């Protein structure tokens, strides 16, 4: 795995103009089950924004709406004030890591990346760059069905970075990554934001998240519970994890 | 326009990066060459009941008409264009790259249209080769001339290409692979045969996929047999071009329905 994060190497001077990611008043139900009741979120350029909440809080649904994979019943989700589907070259604006199973098991890693590169209109040599920098170059000719969870995650990250985007949305990106992969990802996210890119990352690994995020959005039960800077949120608590548990417990006490 | 060109290119690259293209060629060889060669070799006159031999024009036409029974194969290959994306959960990655879903469908229709033409051309040529291989092994001269055999085989080839595009449309509507297979096989092997024996069906039959296929391929043996058995009036067959247009119309109608309804659903 390259020491220099993917995208930065290709961008050279590493100056990015990250988009502002925003949702306002998102409401979404699946049949009679409300999934989101009001999610407001902003992720700004030059910042890494953590997106946290308990299982079933609505994080993945929010990210799917933000990336055009699902429709909101009410409210809106935009990338620089434009819905994802209205972007002319979305993969060049936003790289998305969502689902581990996003690649055909019968394809090789190179074949998958070549397909994605063609779909988004980037030259084929970008495939070799992301393979090298994500540490998958030695497995480029292997079929994806034989990949470990960590290798699939690296492939998902490589796919997200193919278009050299200026924004990243990552849903549980550390799933299955080994320690060196986690460190590489942390450096990538930090340098990406420092260069002006926008990062929105959802994770349950709060100790890891605390090391990289600047801002935080906490949702619970389909609505935004808290949004602001990490330092404000942690405040007089010892850690992000402690502050999170304290707030969730208070919320549950209020509900009961 | 550039985005659509990229989407088509991406779908073509996708086809070449899995084994689907290879299996499509194998299927064309099996459905075209193997089937006709085996029947020509064993001799339709040895079937039960006996059919006209390969040294008659009816015998050769009869063997070529077997190609019609294999048209579900390209249709099923076409259904995999979209159902495979849902089955392997790659559809989210595709929609992230090309968020305008109608554009994804158009790209798949174009890419699989090309694959269908390759399949049809291969199937037709393999069928011609199969007939000559089977008859020459038995020392028989086929009862139809080369040009007539090639013409009929290529008509089936064109039908196969359109069936693959039709399969893409069916797959886009169904989204689920087993449901798409059920619709395809259920219609062509059950529903349409049922329609053929209904009184007055010969009025609508030319505009159903089977009737349009008969028009395109010139194969009316089945229609004539049904007419003889049921006593209904003889088959009405359109011009080949009309048959092709009707089949393409079904493919476009299924695609339009998919773009308006099924492909708009959330990806979860």
B23/A contact by beta carbon, under 8 A: no
Which residues, at least 6 apart from A240, have a Cβ–Cβ distance to it below 8 Å?
Answer: A50, A206, A207, A209, A210, A216, A230, A233, A234
DSSP state, B235? P
- Higher pLDDT among residues B252 and B204, named by residue: B252
Taking residues B239-255, report their average pLDDT.
90
Residue from A115, A101, A127 nearest B104 by CA: A115
C-alpha distances out from residue B242 to A115, B75, B238, Å = 37, 20, 6
* Residues of A with Cβ-Cβ distance to B90 under 8 angstroms: 101-104
Q: Is B94 on the interface with A (CB under 8 A)?
A: yes
Question: Which of B 210-229 lie inside 8 A of A, CB atoms?
Answer: none
pLDDT for res B160:
95
Interface probe, candidates B93, B98, B105, B259, chain A, greatest A C-beta count within 10 A: B93
Cα–Cα dist A100/A152, whole Å? 6
- Residue B229 — pLDDT band, cuts 50, 70, 90? low
Of A98, A105, A120, nearest to B88 by CB-CB distance is A105
- Which residues make beta-bridge pairs with A96? A169
| Distance of alpha carbon A64 from alpha carbon A76, whole angstroms | 12
Residue B9: name the closest of B99, B89, B103 by CA. B103
CATH code assigned to A21-255: 3.40.50.300
Single out the residue of B15, B14, B169, B58 nearest to residue B106, CA to CA. B169
What pLDDT, on the 0 to 100 scale, is given for residue B125?
97
Mean pLDDT of B220-233: 58
Please state, in angstroms and rounded to a whole number, the distance separating the CA atoms of residues A195 and B34. 62
Residue among B18, B81, B96, B108 with most chain A CBs within 10 A, to mutate: B96
- A112 touching B (Cβ < 8 Å): yes
**Tens of pLDDT along chain A (256 residues)?**
554 444 444 444 468 899 999 999 999 999 899 999 999 999 999 999 999 999 999 999 999 999 999 999 999 999 999 999 999 889 999 999 986 568 999 999 999 999 999 999 999 899 999 999 898 999 999 999 999 988 999 999 999 999 999 999 999 998 888 898 899 899 999 999 999 999 999 999 999 999 999 999 999 999 999 999 999 999 889 999 999 999 888 887 887 6
**B7: chain A residues, CB-CB within 8 Å:** 119
Q: Are B58 and B96 in contact (CB under 8 A)?
A: no
- Does residue A147 sit in helix, strand or coil? coil
Q: Is the dihedral of CA B168, B170, B171, B173 positive or negative?
A: positive
The structure's pTM equals 0.89
Predicted local confidence at residue A198, as pLDDT: 98
Output the pLDDT for position A4: 46
**Does A69 contact chain B (CB < 8 Å)?**
yes
Cα–Cα distance measured from residue B199 to residue B207, given in angstroms and rounded to the nearest whole number = 16
Query: Which of B9, B96, B266 is opposite residue A70, by nearest beta carbon?
Result: B266
Residue A168 forms contact with B (CB below 8 Å): no
Assess A108–B contact: CB distance below 8 Å, yes or no: yes
Q: CA-to-CA distance for B183 and B31, rounded, in angstroms?
A: 21
Whole-angstrom distance, CA of residue A156 vs CA of residue A130: 11
The predicted model gives B65-88 an average pLDDT of: 92
The answer to whether A98 faces chain B, any CB pair under 8 Å, is: yes
Nearest CA in chain B to A83: B99
Distance, CA of A182 to CA of A209 (rounded, Å): 11
Could you identify the residue written with the tokens 């019609």?
B68
| Nearest-CA distance A102 → chain B (Å) | 4
More confident residue, B189 or A155: A155
Q: How large is the average pLDDT for residues B167-183? A: 92
Q: Do the interacting molecules here have an ipTM over 0.90?
A: yes
Residue of chain B with shortest Cα separation from A110: B17
Q: Is the pLDDT of residue B234 over 70?
A: no
Q: Which of A238-247, B54-63, B187-196 has the lowest mean pLDDT?
A: B187-196
Asked if A70 lies within 8 A of B12 by C-beta distance, the reply is: no
The answer to whether the CB atoms of A105 and B2 lie below 8 A apart is no
Residues of chain B positioned with their CB less than 8 A from the CB of A63: none
Three-state secondary-structure class, residue A228: strand
pLDDT at B228: 61
| Of B166, B140, B161, residue with least CA distance to B63 | B140
**CA-based nearest residue in chain B for residue A92:** B97
A59 burial via Cβ count (<10 Å: 0-12, 13-18, 19+): buried
Q: Searching chain B, which residue's CA lies closest to the CA of residue A70?
A: B266
pLDDT at B210: 84
């Amino acid at each position: 795995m390259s020491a220099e994060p993917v995208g930065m190497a290709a961008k050279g001077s590493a100056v990015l103009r990250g988009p502002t990611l925003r949702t306002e008043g998102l409401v979404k139900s699946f049949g009679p089950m409300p999934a989101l009741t009001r999610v407001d979120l902003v992720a700004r350029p030059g910042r890494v924004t953590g997106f946290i909440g308990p299982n079933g809080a609505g994080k993945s649904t929010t990210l799917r709406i933000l990336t055009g994979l699902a429709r909101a019943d009410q409210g809106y989700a935009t990338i620089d004030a434009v819905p994802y589907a209205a972007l002319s070259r979305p993969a060049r604006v936003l790289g998305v890591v969502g689902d581990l199973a996003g690649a055909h098991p019968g394809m090789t890693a190179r074949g998958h990346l070549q397909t994605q590169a063609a779909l988004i209109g980037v030259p084929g040599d970008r495939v070799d760059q992301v393979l090298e920098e994500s540490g998958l170059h030695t497995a480029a000719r292997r079929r994806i069905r034989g990949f470990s969870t960590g290798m699939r995650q690296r492939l998902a990250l490589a796919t997200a970075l193919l278009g050299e985007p200026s924004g990243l949305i990552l849903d549980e990106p550390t799933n299955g990554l080994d320690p060196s992969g986690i460190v590489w990802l942390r450096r990538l996210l930090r340098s990406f934001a420092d260069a002006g890119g926008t990062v929105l990352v959802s994770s349950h690994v709060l100790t890891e998240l605390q090391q990289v995020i600047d801002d935080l959005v906490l949702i619970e039960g389909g609505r935004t519970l808290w949004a602001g800077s990490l330092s404000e949120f942690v405040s007089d608590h010892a850690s992000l994890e402690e502050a999170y548990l304290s707030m969730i417990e208070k919320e549950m006490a209020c509900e009961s | 326009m550039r985005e659509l060109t990229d989407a088509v290119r991406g779908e073509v690259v996708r086809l070449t990066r899995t084994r689907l293209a290879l299996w499509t060629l194998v299927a064309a060889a099996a459905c075209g060459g193997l089937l006709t060669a085996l029947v020509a070799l064993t001799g339709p006159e040895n079937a039960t009941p006996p059919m006209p031999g390969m040294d008659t024009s009816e015998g050769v036409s009869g063997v070529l008409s077997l190609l019609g029974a294999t048209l579900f194969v390209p249709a099923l290959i076409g259904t995999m264009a979209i159902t495979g994306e849902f089955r392997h959960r790659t559809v989210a990655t595709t929609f992230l790259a090309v968020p305008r879903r109608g554009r994804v469908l158009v790209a798949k229709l174009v890419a699989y249209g090309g694959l269908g033409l390759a399949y049809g051309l291969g199937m037709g040529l393999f069928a011609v080769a199969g007939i000559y291989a089977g008859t020459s092994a038995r020392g028989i001269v086929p009862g139809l001339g080369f040009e007539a055999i090639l013409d009929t085989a290529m008509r089936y080839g064109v039908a196969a290409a359109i069936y693959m595009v039709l399969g893409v449309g069916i797959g886009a509507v169904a989204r689920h692979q087993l449901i798409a297979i059920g619709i395809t096989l259920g219609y062509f092997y059950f529903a349409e045969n049922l329609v053929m024996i209904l009184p007055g069906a010969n009025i609508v039959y030319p505009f159903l996929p089977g009737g349009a296929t008969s028009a395109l391929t010139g194969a009316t043996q089945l229609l004539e047999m049904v007419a003889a058995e049921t006593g209904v009036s003889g088959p009405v067959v359109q011009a080949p071009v009309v048959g092709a247009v009707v089949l393409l119309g079904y493919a476009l109608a299924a695609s339009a329905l998919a773009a308006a309804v099924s492909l708009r659903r959330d990806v979860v």
